[in-house]
Amino acid sequence: MKLDALVIAAHPDDAEISLGGTILRLAEGGKSVGVLDLTRGEMGTRGSQADRDRETERATELLGLAVRRNLELPDGRVQATVEAREAVAAILREHRPEVVFAQHTDDLHPDHAACGRIAREAWYLAGLKRLAEAGGDSAAHRPARLLHFMGHVPFEATLVVDVSDVWERKVEVIRCYASQIEPTDPEDRGEHFLFGADILARSASKARYWGERIGVAYGEPLFHAGPLPASLDALF
Ligand SMILES: [Zn+2]
């Protein structure tokens, strides 16, 4: 199936938390969007695998995704291997997205950083004709744009998507992951979270900050290596 955009993330819920508003806006505008999770999040401190799978299914529906796939790499041990990047390159050739979103290569979580690298290397490799022929699947295809979304580490965004109109829907999508948001074990005070346990509150303060930077209520920051062509309409 041909996609307009593919989001590549290490764990189910990463795409929702960092990019849920952008995905909702793209889907609302008639774009077909897919998410490729690299792992099933089986090493998560909270909730069972079955919880996580059920939550991902519900979030996928609310986001209006055309495709959601999982590479089933080992959670907590994601590495930018030749096998991983070639598997992702094959998925890029199969779905032929114009835009790819992935985590930033400098993220503190090693799985997120590896995801950023795998996506960047796969993005390049997917355009090589001989490699596509060797893979024996679809023809070579390099997406026009590769953008990185923000995880644990702030970066100076090169563009910010206004997600004010879909903010409440994004919150609803994040709430699908109840096992991650609400601890069931009274001993669990969220010490495993680097910057505090309240995922929703942190997501809101980040979105307000980036929204303020472009003069809107809520924004999602993105990084693109090198300048992007600007539409003159964006200046008025
Ligand atoms: Zn993650």
C-alpha 95 – ligand 1 centre gap (Å): 23
Q: What is the pLDDT of residues 133-192, one digit of tens each?
A: 998 888 999 999 999 999 989 999 999 999 999 999 999 999 999 888 876 676 766 666
C-alpha 160 – ligand 1 centre gap (Å): 21
C-alpha 21 – ligand 1 centre gap (Å): 17
C-alpha 216 – ligand 1 centre gap (Å): 27
Q: In the chain, how many domains are there?
A: 1
Tell whether 172 is covered by a domain: yes
C-alpha 38 – ligand 1 centre gap (Å): 10
C-alpha 1 – ligand 1 centre gap (Å): 26
Q: How far is CA 73 from the centre of its chain?
A: 16
C-alpha 110 – ligand 1 centre gap (Å): 9
pLDDT value at residue 173: 97
C-alpha 46 – ligand 1 centre gap (Å): 13
pLDDT value at residue 171: 97
Tell whether 52 is covered by a domain: yes
Kindly give the confidence (pLDDT) of every residue in the chain, 236 residues in length, as a single tens digit, with 9 standing for 90 and above: 999 999 999 999 999 999 999 999 999 999 999 999 999 988 877 778 888 899 999 999 999 999 999 999 999 999 999 999 999 999 999 999 999 999 999 999 999 999 999 999 999 999 999 999 998 888 999 999 999 999 989 999 999 999 999 999 999 999 999 888 876 676 766 666 666 668 899 999 999 999 999 999 999 999 999 999 988 988 88
| Buried residues in 66-96 as b, exposed as e (16+ CB within 10 A) | bbbeebebebeebebeeebbbbbbbbbbbbb
Tell whether 236 is covered by a domain: no
Tell whether 230 is covered by a domain: no
Tell whether 235 is covered by a domain: no
C-alpha 219 – ligand 1 centre gap (Å): 20
* Parent domain of 113: 5-225
Q: What is the DSSP letter of 63?
A: H
C-alpha span between 187 and 79 (Å, rounded): 32
C-alpha 15 – ligand 1 centre gap (Å): 8
Supply φ then ψ for residue 159, to 5 degrees. -155, 155
C-alpha 117 – ligand 1 centre gap (Å): 15
Residues bordering ligand 1, an ion, CB closer than 5 Å: 10-11, 14
Helices 199-213 and 14-28: angle between axes, nearest 10 degrees? 50
The answer to whether 69 touches 12, Cβ cutoff 8 Å, is no
Tell whether 163 is covered by a domain: yes
The CATH code of the domain that includes 218 is 3.40.50.10320
Tell whether 234 is covered by a domain: no
Tell whether 59 is covered by a domain: yes
The answer to whether 208 touches 217, Cβ cutoff 8 Å, is yes
pLDDT value at residue 193: 66
pLDDT value at residue 46: 75
pTM for the whole structure: 0.94
